[in-house]
Amino acid sequence: MRVVSFILLMTEQIIQIIILVPAAILSLIAGIFLVVRGKDKLDKGMIILGISYILMICFFIVWGFNLAVQLIDYTIMYAVYMGMNFFTKFTFHENKKSSFKSIVIFTTVNYIILIIPKILLLLNQYDDIILSRTGKILDNTFSITWAIIVFGWLAYSGLESFHQIKDKKVQPWIKKRLLLVIYSAFFEMFVSLPDLLDILTNRILHDYVFYIQMIMIATIMVMQFLAWVMPKKLKNFLNRGYIVENKADVGITEEEIINQMLEGDQN
């Protein structure tokens, strides 16, 4: 049994490396790309999104080295989630009435609720309560709710913009990019759900949770990378059969296309 357990543990660690290392690399490339392009075009939303992707690398390191017992992981996620909130605001709701303030307040309050138990653990206080089944259920519930609000707002905002452009004469790759943003946000909402289900079912799903989450993380990172660093060959493939009627579209910059796509004011 010990040999089998050791083999399973090593297998999980190898899979974790295979998934997290490429995910971190894709996140770094996308982050640098967005920051550089954002600075060139003075696009606040793009810069903030790029920084958020770069910060995700720190989370992968913390999670990969099992440092999540500290409050570092939630602090990193708070920074990432706040970045996502600002990206959603600047990209989809610039100069518009939105739920931005309420979501920022919720994000901050939820962060405080989540780190208090972590601080108490560091102080060796209430360990039995925090590490109990109920404590873990509450922790996971708040984590999932946190992600659902932040990425749910992003997905909903993106979906609204998609409905504005789906019937317009817009290049297909632009629509697909927006769909990738929406789909990746949807997956982000529920990436922690397997952990909660594992606890609620008394670890019946324990052997599957790790693999499900690895698949979800890999899917999210690939979709996000393709959304923002889409290869030209893929754009041409998605645009096959599409005829550019507006000659102005030929010389338009990628950032302008992104902005028009998200704001829904391309004809």
Q: Which pLDDT score is estimated for 134?
A: 92
Structure token digits, residue 35: 């920051």
pLDDT tens for 240-260 read 888 766 545 543 444 444 554
End-to-end CA distance of the chain: 65
Q: Give the C-alpha separation, 55 to 72, whole Å.
A: 12
Q: What is the mean pLDDT of the chain?
A: 84
pLDDT of residue 2: 57
Residue 9 pLDDT greater than 90, yes or no: no
Whether pTM exceeds 0.95: no
Q: What is the pLDDT of residue 70?
A: 64
Residue 265: band (very low, low, confident or very high) from pLDDT cuts 50, 70, 90: very low
Structure tokens at 136: 């873990």
Domains and CATH numbers, the chain: 2-263 (1.20.1070)
pLDDT tens string 89-110: 999 998 888 999 999 999 999 9
Distance (Å, whole) CA 17 – CA 15: 5
